[in-house]
Amino acid sequence: MKIVVLAGGISTERDVSLSSGRGIYHALKSNGHQVILLDVFLGLPDAKGRLEDLFEADIDWSASIRDVSKKVPDIEQVKALRPDCKSLLGPNVLELCSLCDIVFLGLHGSNGEDGRIQALFDLTGIRYTGTGHTSSALSMDKNITKQMFKGRGIPTPPSITIKKGESFELPESIGFPCMVKTCCGGSSVGVYRVEDVFCLEEALRQAFSYENQALIERCIIGREFSVAVVEGRALPIIEIAPLVGFYDYKNKYQAGSTIETCPADLPANLTARMQKHAEEACAAVGIEGYARVDFMLDERSGEDYALEVNTLPGMTPTSLMPQEAAAVGCSYEQLCEWIIQVSLKKYE
C-alpha cells in the first residue's frame, strides 16, 4: 500500500510524535509498503515533479529525526519555520495524503488527537488510522472524559475543572496531595503533583500557561498501570514504576527512567476487573479501532481508577502499547500492520 505517516505538528508532544512516526515509518517500510513520513506542520515545501512519484523515491524520510529530549520542545521556534502559515497543515500535506491508501496517524496531543485532523480527513474522504473525530474530541478533554466515565459507572478520581482567573474552593473529596492537569494536554506535560495550598497556586499558574482550563484531581497513592484496547478487547496490563517521582515527561521517554512490567503482577480477579474497566472506558467515549487507558490502583482501598483515554497511543521505543502487544507475541512491525487492518474496518 501507499501510506503517509503523519507526525510532528505544533503540540507540546511534537518530539514524541516524531519519534513515534520514525518507528512506524521503518516498520511499514520493512513490511513492504511504500511509505512517506511527513511533519504535518512543516510539510514538503520544496517538492518538485509529480507528488505521486515520491512514494517510489529512494529517500530516507526519517533521517533528520532525533530521539526525544528531556525538555518539552519550544513550539514558538517551530512556528517560526513557517512565519506566513495560515493552517496547521504544511505545504503538500493534504495533497500527498489524498494520494495514499491510508494515512497512519503518528500524531499526539492537540491538533493531532483532538479530532480536527480526523474531521478534515472525514470531509475529504481520506482514510486514516485510529478512532473517528467525535471520539477523538471527547477523549482529548479530560473533564469530558471523566464525565463519560461517571455516566458508565467507571471509577475515576474526584476532580473539579476551573478556568483561568476563576475563583474556587477545593472540595474535601479532593484534598492534598492532589494533581493539577491541563484539560487537553498529553505526555504528562502540564501535570503537577501538589502537596499543599502554597504549591497549588504555582501549579495552576504553570498549567494555565498551556491552556485556559485546568483539572484539579485527587491524587491516588499507589501503583500506576495502562491497558491498551484493540477492537474492544483489552491487551495484557502493563505496570509503570518510575525510579524517581511520578510518570512525567522525562520518565516516559528517557530510557532507564522507569521500570515497566508486562503482564503486570496482579491477582487474576483484579486483572480482569481493570481490563473490563479499560474496555468500558473506550466504549464510553465511542472508540473505534484502538486506544489506551491509564489507571491508578489505590494502595489502601485496592480500587482501580481510570484517568484518561489516549486515542493515538505512543509508538516510541519506550512506549507502552508496543510492550503490551509484545506480551501476546505481536512484534512492533506486526502491531503497525494490525493497526492498519483494524482501522480500515471503519471504511467497510
Active-site position among 292, 304, 305, 319: 292
Active site residue 324: no
Q: In 10 A of CB 85, how many CB atoms?
A: 16
Active site residue 15: no
Active site residue 332: no
Active-site position among 13, 39, 217, 279: 13
Query: Which cell goes with 252?
Result: 516516559
Query: Which cell goes with 39?
Result: 511533519
Active site residue 300: no
In single-letter form, the type of residue at position 261 comes to: T
Closest by Cα among 54, 50, 42 to 17: 42
Structural element, H or E, at residue 305: strand 304-310
Active site residue 249: no
Active-site position among 17, 110, 139, 187: 187
In degrees, to the nearest 5, what angle opens at C-alpha 293 toward C-alphas 312 and 237? 115
Active-site position among 308, 319, 332, 343: 308
Query: Which cell goes with 235?
Result: 491487551
**Polymer length in residues for the chain:** 348
Q: In 10 A of CB 79, how many CB atoms?
A: 12
Active-site position among 19, 188, 310, 343: 310
Active site residue 13: yes
Active site residue 66: no
Query: Which cell goes with 76?
Result: 514558538
Active-site position among 253, 290, 305, 332: 253
Active site residue 19: no
Closest by Cα among 65, 38, 64, 62 to 51: 38
DSSP state of 73: P
Active site residues: 13, 187, 253, 292, 294, 308, 310, 314
